[in-house]
A = this chain, B = another copy of it.
Amino acid sequence: MAEKLQGQTISYKNPPHIIAHGSIVGPEEGKGPLGDSFDLVCEDVKCEEKTWEKGEKKMVADLIELTLGKASISASDVDFLIAGDLLDQIITANFVSRDYDIPFLGIYGACSTAVEALALGSMKMDGGYADCILCFASSNYQTAERQFRTPLEYGVQYTGNNQWTVTGAGAYLLGWIGGKVWITHSTIGKVIDLGIKDANDMGAAMAPAAADTILQHFTDLNRGPQDYDMIITGDLAGIGKKILTSLLEEKNIKTGNKLQDCGAMIFGGKKKYGAGGSGCAASAVIIGSVIIPQIISGKLNRVLVIGTGALLSPLSVLQNESVPGIAHAVVIEKIPEE
């Protein structure tokens, strides 16, 4: 019966188009090397709200309006929202969705959330359950630091292997008509735990999950790096990317320059940001605003996108649990011209 499933990979018979995508980032991301790529850069990280959390909500609300506007679609044409974020009880996604008269599915995949949403959205589209879905995910440096680690006011010194949560949000509108790229496959990952216990060292915690999902994807479709123009992970950052490269080489998979990481790209390797960016927004803003334009322009044709998540909570760290990782993948490619 499951004629679209091989191993962990789903092949879509009716691949949904990404008909519009939008990105919004904070001031630090705006100053980075990709700053000009994003649709909106907020100079004020609170977006003139009273708290960082309310600022994150405002950012996402603005993003949704922007994304719907790009596609000239009104909210009433959207069948479902699929979204999540890093905050406890995904309050950003919940509270933003409150302002829309659209059925909402809340998900939590840590920093893999944007790709989890795209994978679930693709299934809903291909399965005949929807004609238009809005997927979104957000994160914020200030809200994440005080929730997961220490309040910024403490002025804790970073260790160097730490990552800097990307402030921003990305949205993707799935539909049937008018897109130039589509989602052809998705690979749902397993929870993988190699016993990392340092809540700062998330790249190391997530790299084994990314390796597992990439290898599984290649096995399922009988493909390899030669079948992709780029293989891009979400937020392994500098350290995690090196570990992933080694893990793949151990299995005789050489990715060379094809392997990229959104977290390693967004701050241009500046020391201030530790090993690089992290958070749902890292992949959510870069896939839409940096990678998809390269597919549309013809520079890339087929890209394997791997969302990576570190599955920790402040409580799990206090209770001496390790940090497992998870990685979900989607294949985004140019829609062939007829």
Contact = CB atoms under 8 A, between A and B. Distances in A.
A147 B147 CA distance: 13
Interface in A212-236: none
A104 B112 CA distance: 12
A14 B2 contact: no
Contact of A104 (B88, B128, B191): B191
Closest 8 CB pairs of A and B: A127-B127, A103-B188, A89-B313, A94-B311, A88-B88, A98-B191, A108-B108, A4-B128
Which residue among A107, A129, A314, A324 has the maximum number of chain B CB atoms within 10 Å of its CB? A129
Contacts of A3: 128
Nearest to A148: B89
Contact of A53 (B102, B131, B315): B315
A318 to B, nearest CB: 9
A279 interface: no
8 contacts: A2-B128, A80-B188, A89-B316, A91-B312, A94-B311, A98-B192, A105-B120, A106-B107
A5 interface: yes
A106 B103 contact: no
A9 to B, nearest CB: 10
Contact of A2 (B87, B98, B105, B131): B131
A51 interface: yes
A129 B13 CA distance: 11
Chain multiplicity (copies): 2
Interface of A: 1-5, 8, 10, 14, 51, 53-54, 79-80, 84, 86-91, 94-95, 97-98, 100-110, 116, 120, 123-131, 147, 176, 188-193, 311-316, 319, 321, 324, 326
B116 A105 contact: yes
A110 B104 CA distance: 13
B91 A129 contact: no
Nearest to A109: B106
A60 B97 CA distance: 30
A86 B313 CA distance: 12
Given A1-B176, A88-B313, A314-B88, A188 B319 contact: no
A8 B79 CA distance: 7
Contacts of A128: 1-5, 127
Given A98-B191, A108-B84, A108-B106, A315 B10 contact: no
A98 B8 contact: no
A192 to B, nearest CB: 8
A90 B313 CA distance: 8
A318 B90 CA distance: 15
A189 B97 CA distance: 11
A313 B95 CA distance: 11
A14 B316 CA distance: 40
Given A105-B120, A319-B51, A2 B130 contact: yes
Contacts of A104: 188-191, 326
